[in-house]
Amino acid sequence: MWTICFHEFKGLFKSIKSIIIIAIIFGVTYWTADLMTTLKDQLDVHAGKEGYASGIASIVFLLGFLFISSLSHDVINREVSTRTIRFLVTKTSRGNIIIGKYLGIWLFWFFCIFISFVLVAFISKKFLWWGILECMGFISVAIAYNLIFSIIFPKPAVTMFFGIVFALVFPALSFWIIFSSNGAISWLKFFTPYYYALLGNFYVFINFIYAIGVLMLGVVLFRRRDL
């Protein structure tokens, strides 16, 4: 499992798309932190330390699904289509394969988010641990969903298309449900990670539980899939 995890983790850094996405995240992080400094110094606006992390949070919540899908949309069906999955199942269990892949992608994004908050800390003079928890809770759910899609759809091209569509539609649909006054659909907010991210405080830990539930569903689906 850990071999698969570190292989996936290192493999993500070799992609040009990964480098571009990392540059975007770091660029937005620096720009937002610099803007917050300007507002406080020139306009005498009192902003909390958490305001420095608004750029990271915004890009994670709005584009997190899209970024993850663009990098890891074929994390499982790629192995199936190239038949390397048949070699992996002779070395470890199907559950370990799914969990190893998940942890590798999770560690990659934790590294990106952590470094982004380190950059913010140089300007805000405070390391915002809670901001990392909020972002990683949301990212954890997004990665789990991405794995599910890669298990359900056998062709990488299909998951790429579906992942992009889902990443564009799901955020808008989630916010519509969350702020809807229609009781017939408002209960669906409990199934979107955006709801718990917006609640903040200790509700962000629900997203980690949510992610574990989706991941376990992925393990069950993969065990039942023909290779």
Task: Give the highest mean pLDDT range of 8-17, 25-34, 94-103.
Answer: 94-103
> Whole-angstrom Cα distance, residue 120 to residue 33?
6
Rg from Cα positions in the chain: 19
In this prediction, residue 17 carries a pLDDT of 82
**Beta-carbon count within 10 A of 213 CB:** 12
Q: pLDDT digits over 98-133, tens only?
A: 999 999 999 999 998 998 888 877 776 777 788 889
In this prediction, residue 27 carries a pLDDT of 80
Q: Where are the domains of the chain?
A: 2-223
Q: pLDDT digits over 28-58, tens only?
A: 777 776 665 555 554 444 444 455 667 778 7
In this prediction, residue 33 carries a pLDDT of 63
In this prediction, residue 44 carries a pLDDT of 45
Contact residues for 222 (Cβ-Cβ < 8 A; gap 6+): 76, 94, 95, 97, 98, 151
pTM to 2 decimal places? 0.89
87 pLDDT tier (thresholds 50, 70, 90): confident
Token pair of 92, please? 């470890």
In this prediction, residue 131 carries a pLDDT of 84
* C-beta of residue 144 within 8 angstroms of C-beta of residue 68: no
Q: pLDDT digits over 161-212, tens only?
A: 999 999 999 999 999 999 988 878 888 999 999 999 888 888 999 999 999 9
Asked if pLDDT for residue 3 goes beyond 60, the answer is yes
Q: How far is CA 164 from the centre of its chain?
A: 14
Which amino acid is located at 104 in the chain? G
